[in-house]
Amino acid sequence: MRAVIFDWGGTLTPWLPVDQRAAWRSYADAVHPGDAERAATVAAAILAAEEAAWRLVRDEHRAFTIAQVLAAASAVEHLDGFTAYRAYWEHATHTDPEVAPLVTALREQGLRIGVLSSTPWPAAWHEEVLRRDGVLDLFHATVWSSDLEYTKPHPSAFLTAMAAVGVDDPADCVYVGDRPYDDISGAKGVGMRAVLVPHSDLPADQRVPVDVEPDAVLRRLSDLPSVLDRWR
């Protein structure tokens, strides 16, 4: 075993619900201040475009970006809108306090540590969050699907993350995530070991039935080293 790669949302950050319609309404209100009717129409169009994009993730594993969502909704990219949107999301972006000591300990054992996340957000947004929480420099590499053609559970996403941390054999890697379909089936499908963090209350439309068993289940991230010790 040479590498551990983590999911981001629901794994490195504790799961917290986000009202996507309200998030996009905050964006639209900033773009169209004082015009509530126009803002509501724009927010509804953006939400519909994003939901369509996530259906393609589920059905075809195609990655997408915020810019593509806005273009599909015929909405403009707007700095103040992005600021409002990110502020709405902020409560759900904070890194689990156990991450820094865990990753530090794993690095000290000589393991390569990475992140692979399915996300439409640009890499810079995620890096800003990880830097804010003092953990960005702890990872050897971070891979965000907004920079990829395909996302989890597509094999290419996992292989890209492996290459980013400098490992070429999936059998040398462990993937840690909160979603049975995206994370566990995807990782095991390429030959990685897969560890489930089962704390996320996934919406019904994001649940995909899958017949797969994780290699281990964590109640706390800090329990990961004892799991890894069994596989050395």
Listed in order, strand segments (DSSP E) in 138-211 are 141-144, 173-177, 193-196
CA 92 to CA 213: how far, in whole Å? 27
Do 117 and 9 contact (CB within 8 A), yes or no?
yes
Q: Around 80, how many Cα atoms within 13 Å sit in the side-chain half-sphere?
A: 6
Q: Is the dihedral of CA 63, 66, 67, 69 positive or negative?
A: positive
Give the pLDDT of the chain (232 residues) as one tens digit per residue: 999 999 999 999 998 889 999 999 999 999 999 999 999 999 999 999 999 999 999 999 999 999 999 999 999 999 999 999 999 999 999 999 999 999 999 999 999 999 999 999 999 999 999 999 999 999 999 999 999 999 999 999 999 999 999 999 999 999 999 999 999 999 999 999 999 999 866 666 667 778 889 999 998 999 999 999 999 8
Q: What Cα–Cα distance (Å) separates residue 95 from each residue in 10, 60, 65, 221?
A: 10, 30, 22, 12
Q: Is the dihedral of CA 65, 203, 9, 149 positive or negative?
A: negative
CA dihedral 156, 138, 105, 224 (to 10 degrees): -40
Residue 136 has what pLDDT?
A: 98
Q: φ and ψ at 16, to 5 degrees?
A: -140, 140
Do 4 and 218 contact (CB within 8 A), yes or no?
no
Q: What is the pTM of this model?
A: 0.95
Look up residue 169 and give its two tokens.
């054999």
Residue 17 has what pLDDT?
A: 87
Residue 13 has what pLDDT?
A: 95
CA dihedral 179, 180, 181, 186 (to 10 degrees): 90
Residue 123 has what pLDDT?
A: 98
Q: What Cα–Cα distance (Å) separates residue 59 from each residue in 17, 151, 231?
A: 23, 11, 33
Do 185 and 211 contact (CB within 8 A), yes or no?
no
Residue 166 has what pLDDT?
A: 98
Look up residue 83 and give its two tokens.
């600021």
CB neighbours of 83 closer than 8 A, spacing ≥ 6? 30
Residue 211 has what pLDDT?
A: 82
CA 9 to CA 205: how far, in whole Å? 17
